[in-house]
Amino acid sequence: MSDLVKFTLDGRELQAAPGTLVIDAAKKAGIEIPAFCYYEGLSLQAACRMCLVEVKGAPKLLAACTLPVAENMVIETESPTVVDARKFTLEFLLTNHPLDCPVCDKGGECELQDMVFRYGAGESRFTEIKHHVDEKQWSPVVFFDAPRCILCYRCVRICDEGMGVKALGVTNRGAYSEITPNMGSHLECDECGACIDICPVGALTSGIYRYQTRPWEMDHVGTICTHCGDGCKTTLGVRNNEIIRGNNRDRSGINGEFLCIKGRYAFDFINHPDRLQSPLMRVNGKLEEVSWSKALVAVAQKFSEIKAASGKIGIIGSNRTSNEENFYLRKFAQAIGTPHLDHRRTGDIATLLDALSGRADALATAEDLYTAQSVLVVGADLAQQHPFLAFQMRANWRHHQSRTFVVTQGPVREDAFATRNLRAEPGQEIDAVTTLADDLKSSGDLIVVFGDSIRGDSLRKLVSFIASLGVPAKYICLLDYSNSRGAFDMGLIPGDGGMSAPEMLAASDLDALWVVGANPLADAALASQNAFVVVQDLFLTETAQRADIVLPAASAYEKTGTVTNTCGQVQRLSKALNVMGAKPDLDIFHLIARGMRLDLGPAQPDKIFSEIRATVKGYDIPLPVIATGGAALTNPVNGNVPHAAASAALVRGSRDTLFTSGTLGRYSPILSKVMEAPGGLYRK
């Protein structure tokens, strides 16, 4: 490009697009200009003065974070004057900063420590009394220690700009300025903890992590959050077989550093005292702890008997188990000859894929939500149900002025920046959407994001309406759990003549019901009084209480494998820890199969994944992407989708809020402890 600006940075001749900030241009050239307040993606502050650089001809040092490169500009980022300025700014900063690093959570990963290590004065000239304010607790999640705060305003901005919550502000003035929560003494917010993670020092600390460990004592395991369907990467800090924290400070994964309260803190169901750590078997009408071998033998025997007698076995799979487990479970069903296989449908992906017949490239990813020129949300409280997708949309609007259209039954956070927002009762959304035709036609490429009320015919109507607009459009069918999409793709759906999950529950002649990681009896009864019920789960759910045999399962954080998010992106789970007594569902399947003398092929996740790549439509995705922790988009060949016609009637979303997460949410102390829980959808 000829319109690049030429400039000299630390003696190197460089080029950048006009308007590029010096701090960004330097970063691109591999030169890090230090800063506290500057933060990629957030608004500019020029407050910390750490990024001051020397520009030839300028009478004083200039802030690199607000200075655009100019033709022939000569910049020095490490000249003696610059280094001096940094040293003395740090000296000023340390005057009121308590040097309590030995007991500070941030010690060892503190940006202030690092900066002082690099530039700071070894000697302190400040001999006056420091200004002290007592620490405050703002919520079960957020603690604030004002003296440690360096007032970089990152927390204020991530909450306002990133999350759209605006729960933090600044009060008082001058050296007594203090970050303050929206309720004066406490916070009412998403409790996402983004403010804590973004804090460069130990001013904001987490109620879960504080005073638990030194950061270097932990192993860091990057895996996929097991709660909603967005598929955020969460990096679990693990010490001594215990998860101490979750964050994503390395910005890996599709979500960068975004996480909601579930991804950051709601791993704590793992240690809930009610967690099952031994198989249970019904003896004289009561569930009693038994050994794994006894329980497995009993299951294998009973299943074999029913199979031999050509009895009816129903299988309800999970929205949270891995693709490998789901794939293996389907093979299991085939091997024992039962077509009665299903999982809870939280969105009508079947109809969508069928309606998109013949179109490739029709599914949008979370990344697309950040770049599309317009987004239409139909029938979802996105900020609550899919907080990461909502974050992406907000960032798109903030950074690219994208246009947002919202059709929902009640107020949603997206209203605040929506070009147009309409209210429509569930089932009547499409009529409202059609009134947006002119707006949508003129808004460039479009992503349509829709919730569980858009299904069957109304979904087909939506797809044909969007097609009639003549703009490039992609879709995201919202699915509620971490592997809802994978459960569908791996074929946890009824075979020929097979019953759906509600039909299994309603049937009076079921001989056995095998429920894996699901709780269908939470709000339905099992009609077959004499059915032999086997449940694999983490907790004694309503369904497990009805079981004859309960097998304690491992959570997603205790296994490897892959999951597919609501956008159809496949990512890899990494095992963070073992929970004594529990086994991954795959191991349980394999052991039962062995007990039944069934040959289902290898039971190692990697080998099963190879099989998936070879046999499942759209899953021939590049291995290196997955192996390196990336997200690979599946490419389903649309049309002729099995079970599409019947699917609409089966769709029932979870209605989870930011603070609920099905069974796991009930057993997460932190989710139930925040005052906002359980919350509700479509509230102002």
Partner 1 sequence: MLFNPPHPAETKVLTRRFGLPNSESIDTYLANDGYKAFLKAREMSQEQIIEEVKLSSLRGRGGAGFPTGMKWSFVPRTSPKPKYIVVNADESEPGTCKDRVLMENDPHGLIEGVLIAALSIGAHRGWVYIRGEYRYLIDIMDRAIEEAYKHGYLGKNIRGTGFDFDFSTHTGAGAYECGEESALLESLEGKRGIPRIRPPFPAVSGAFQCPTILNNVETYYAVPPIILNGGKWYADLGVPKAGGTRMLCLSGHVNTPGVYEIPLGFPMMRAINELGGGMLNGNKLKAVVPGGSSCPLLRAEECDINMDYDSLAKVKSMLGSGGMVVLDETTDMVKFALRIMRFYQHESCGWCIPCREGTLWLKKLLTRLDAGVGSSSDISLVGELAKNMFGRTFCPLGDAAAMPTMSIIEKFRDEFEARLAGVTLPPELVSIA
Partner 2 sequence: MTFSPQLEARLEKLLRSYPEGRQRAALIPMLMYAQDEAGYISKELAQEVARRCGVTTLQVDEVVGYYTMLRARPMGRTHLQICTNISCLLVGGDKLWEQACHKLGIGHNEVTPDGAISLEEVECIGACSWAPALQTNFDFHHKVTPEKLDQLIDALRKVN
Q: In this structure, are residues 618 and 490 in contact, taking their beta carbons and an 8 Å threshold?
A: no
CB 164, min distance to partner 2, A: 13
CB nearer partner 2, residue 170 or residue 467: 170
Residue 499 sits in the site that holds partner 2 (CB under 8 A): no
Which range touches partner 2 (CB under 8 A), out of 177-185, 248-256, 270-278, 619-627? 177-185
Q: In this structure, are residues 105 and 210 in contact, taking their beta carbons and an 8 Å threshold?
A: yes
CB 95, min distance to partner 1, A: 5
CB nearer partner 1, residue 258 or residue 417: 417
Which tokens sit at 154?
Answer: 């990152």
CB 416, min distance to partner 2, A: 12
- Phi and psi at residue 422, in whole multiples of 5°? -120, 150
Q: For partner 1, which residue of 93, 221, 487, 592 counts as binding (CB under 8 A)? A: 93
Residue 56 sits in the site that holds partner 1 (CB under 8 A): no
Which range touches partner 2 (CB under 8 A), out of 87-95, 173-181, 295-303, 384-392? 173-181
Which tokens sit at 262?
Answer: 């579930």
Tell me how many degrees the CA angle 194-197-201 measures, rounded to the nearest 5: 135
Burial readout 385-413 (b: 16 or more C-beta within 10 A, e: otherwise): bbbbbbbbbbbbbbeeebbbbbbbbeebb
Residue 83 sits in the site that holds partner 1 (CB under 8 A): no
Residue 132 sits in the site that holds partner 1 (CB under 8 A): no
CB 613, min distance to partner 1, A: 51
DSSP state at residue 558? G
CB nearer partner 1, residue 61 or residue 298: 61
Q: For partner 1, which residue of 60, 132, 286, 597 counts as binding (CB under 8 A)? A: 60
CB nearer partner 1, residue 173 or residue 684: 173
Q: For partner 1, which residue of 26, 48, 238, 244 counts as binding (CB under 8 A)? A: 48
CB nearer partner 2, residue 187 or residue 513: 187
Residue 128 sits in the site that holds partner 1 (CB under 8 A): yes
Contact track, partner 2, 133-172, x by CB under 8 A: ---------------------------------xxxxxxx
Q: CA-CA distance, 458 to 304, in Å (whole number)?
A: 44
Contacts of 518 (CB under 8 A, 6+ apart): 316, 317, 318, 319, 343, 344, 537, 543
Residue 95 sits in the site that holds partner 1 (CB under 8 A): yes
| Residue 256: Cβ-neighbour burial (10 angstroms; 0-12, 13-18, 19+) | buried
Contact track, partner 1, 168-187, x by CB under 8 A: --x-xxxxxx----------
CB 185, min distance to partner 2, A: 11
Between the two ends of the chain, the Cα-to-Cα distance in Å is: 48
Residue 283 sits in the site that holds partner 2 (CB under 8 A): no
Q: Tokens 């979904």, residue? A: 459
Contact track, partner 2, 183-222, x by CB under 8 A: -x--------------------------------------
Q: CA-CA distance, 241 to 246, in Å (whole number)?
A: 14
Q: Look at the alpha carbons of 23, 28, 32, 38 in this order and tell me if their dihedral is positive or negative.
A: positive
Which tokens sit at 102?
Answer: 């030995």
At 122 the three-state DSSP class reads coil
Residue 173 sits in the site that holds partner 2 (CB under 8 A): yes
Question: What percent helix, strand, coil does the chain show, rounded to 5?
Answer: 35, 20, 50
* Residues in the chain, total: 684
For binding to partner 1 (CB under 8 A), which residues are involved? 44-50, 52, 59-61, 66, 85, 88-89, 91-93, 95-96, 125-129, 131, 150-151, 170, 172-177
For binding to partner 2 (CB under 8 A), which residues are involved? 166-173, 178, 180-182, 184
